Amino acid sequence: VVFEGTGLTSIIENKINGYIAKKNNIDDFIAGINWCLNNKDLSQDLIYAGALKNFNYKNIIKDYIGFITK
């Protein structure tokens, strides 16, 4: 569970591999915790796969090269 407007939203897809709560909204953050705890489809494997997709070193290198050569 993360708040919107943070860097972590780049790896969390709302209600896919986590929950993005409205910025500074504690009630929504609690709702996100409850959603995660009650979602039987949300597994560590799914969360790990999302992190691998976004933090794969080959993808990061490609992004850096693209940024530098623009």
Q: Which residue spans within the chain are E strands per DSSP?
A: 2-3, 20-21
> What is the rounded CA–CA span in Å between residue 35 and residue 40?
10
Strands 20-21 and 2-3: parallel
Query: Residue 52 above 80 pLDDT?
Result: no
> What is the rounded CA–CA span in Å between residue 31 and residue 3?
12
- pLDDT tens for 8-46 read 888 888 988 889 999 999 999 999 999 988 887 776 666
